[in-house]
Structure 1
C-alpha cells in the first residue's frame, strides 16, 4: 500500500506564493538569502560522497539528482549548471510551470514534474543524490515520507535534508521573528509543532535505512544580515547528510 505523505493544506500555502519564487525581495526572500549556504553544503557533500572535484567545470556530470519539493527551482538550476541530470519534483502543481519557464529562460534542461516522493518510488525512479530541503516539516508523516525518499536513493547515494529544530528559540526566530516581526513569510507558513529535532530526524533517517554522516547548522547573523554554516549551532535551522549503504 502506498502512503500519501502530502498535506493538501501545506501544498495550498505554497501554490498561493508560486509566482514569487524568483523575486529575491518577495515572499521567498528568506530562501534567497539562505540559498548560498544550502548550495555550498549540498555541493560539498555530494562531491565528497561521489569523489568529484567541486572546482571542476561540471563536477556532477553523469550524476542523477532529485530536488524533491523543488519549488521554483532555486537549487535545481545550480545543480544543472554543475552538470547533473536534474529531476525537480513538487506536490504544488503551480510551482512547476514557474520553474519550467525560468529554466527555459536560463537555457537549462531540467525535468520538472508535478509529483510526489512516493509516486516516484512506485515508478522505480532512482537517484545518486537527493536534495530534500525544507520539506519534511510540511508533511503529515515524516517517517513515511523519508522512507519513500530512501527508496529513491541508489546504494552509495547521499541525501541532503534540511529542516527546523523544535524548541523555544525556533518558535521565537522561525515563527515570531520570520512571520510576525520581519514578515519574511506569510503568517501560518510553518507550524511549530511540526518542527523536528536533530535527534528525531536522525532516528527517522536510521529507520529508513540511511546512515547519518554529517549535520550542521544554518545560522543567521542580524548584524551582517547573512547566513553561515555552523559546526555546532543546530538550534534553529539545520541540515544533514545521510548515505544509503552499498548493496
Structure 2
C-alpha cells in the first residue's frame, strides 16, 4: 500500500529533519523538550498506571503493554517507556530522526522498534496498541481530525491516548512564538505556526468525533523563577496535555 500522506505536512517534516542530529543535546535546538520531558513523563506514567492498574514502584510496571510513540523524534519518550517495561514502537515521518533514535537506543541497551512511517501506514497494517502517545505533534499535521481518527484506530478497545499541544490565544503567541523562538531562541524561528495551535475545546471535539472519551486534561506550566515545568489543573493557557480512552 502506498504511504498515506493525508495528515503529513511536508514543510513541517522538513523543519525537524534539519534538526535531527541535535535530539539528545540538552542544550541544543531541542532544549525546550528536554526541560519539559520530566513533566510530560510524570503525566504519562500516572495516566498509564491509572488506566491499566499498574504499580509505578514495581521494577517494570508497564510490562505486557504495547505502546506507539507517534512523532518519536530521537526517542525522548520512547526510551523511558521501554525502561518501564513497555513494548515500544516509535514512528516518525522525518526519516533522519530514525537513525539517531536507533543509535541512541542501542547505546542505551534498549530494544525499541523505530520506523520511518506515517501513523496511517501502521494503522493500515492492522497493528493495534494499548497506548498511543501523540505529544507535541497535532499542531504540525495537515489534517488534525484525520490524525486523531488514525490515533483512535490504532488503539485497542479500552486503550489510552495521550496527546499534548499548544493552546491558541494571545498568551500562547507571546510565550511560544515571541518568547521561545525570538527572545529566548530556544527554537529556530518558524518552528511553530500559531494558527495551527489547538484550543482545549477544539481538541476535545476532535477526540470525541474519533470515538474516544476524554478523561483528563492538565496544563503544563513553565516557572521562570525555578526554571521548571509543572502540571496544573487550572492553567491550560499555553501548553496542555490530555488523556482519552477508546470506547
After superposition, the C-alpha distances for 1:9-36 in whole angstroms (9 at most, x for unaligned) are: 0000000000000000000000000000
Q: For residues 57 and 110 of structure 2, what CA distance do their matches in structure 1 show?
A: 20
After superposition, the C-alpha distances for 1:133-157 in whole angstroms (9 at most, x for unaligned) are: 0000000110001101100010011
| TM-fit CA distance, 1:63 | 0.3
Q: 1:25 aligns to what?
A: 27
Alignment of 1:35-46 (within 5 A): 35-46=37-48
Alignment of 1:5-16 (within 5 A): 5-16=7-18
After superposition, the C-alpha distances for 1:159-191 in whole angstroms (9 at most, x for unaligned) are: 100000000000000000000000000000000
SS in 2 for 1:25: coil
| TM-fit CA distance, 1:3 | 5.9
Unaligned runs of 5+ in 1: none
SS in 2 for 1:130: strand
Pick from 135, 143, 168 the counterpart of residue 133 of structure 1. Answer: 135
Aligned 8 A contact 1:217 1:230 in 2: yes
Aligned 8 A contact 2:222 2:228 in 1: yes
Q: Is residue 206 of structure 1 aligned with residue 208 of structure 2?
A: yes
| TM-fit CA distance, 1:90 | 0.2
Aligned 8 A contact 2:5 2:118 in 1: no
Unaligned runs of 5+ in 2: none
SS in 2 for 1:156: strand
SS in 2 for 1:199: helix
Q: 1:78 aligns to what?
A: 80
What TM-score, normalized by structure 1, do the two folds share?
Answer: 0.98
| TM-fit CA distance, 1:198 | 0.2
SS in 2 for 1:47: helix
How large is the RMSD of aligned CA atoms in angstroms? 0.9
Aligned 8 A contact 1:3 1:144 in 2: no
Q: 2:90 aligns to what?
A: 88
What TM-score, normalized by structure 2, do the two folds share?
Answer: 0.98
Aligned 8 A contact 2:66 2:130 in 1: yes
Pick from 161, 164, 176 the counterpart of residue 163 of structure 2. Answer: 161
Q: For residues 185 and 228 of structure 2, what CA distance do their matches in structure 1 show?
A: 17
Q: For residues 44 and 86 of structure 2, what CA distance do their matches in structure 1 show?
A: 13
Q: For residues 33 and 5 of structure 2, what CA distance do their matches in structure 1 show?
A: 29
Q: For residues 124 and 4 of structure 1, what CA distance do their matches in structure 2 show?
A: 18
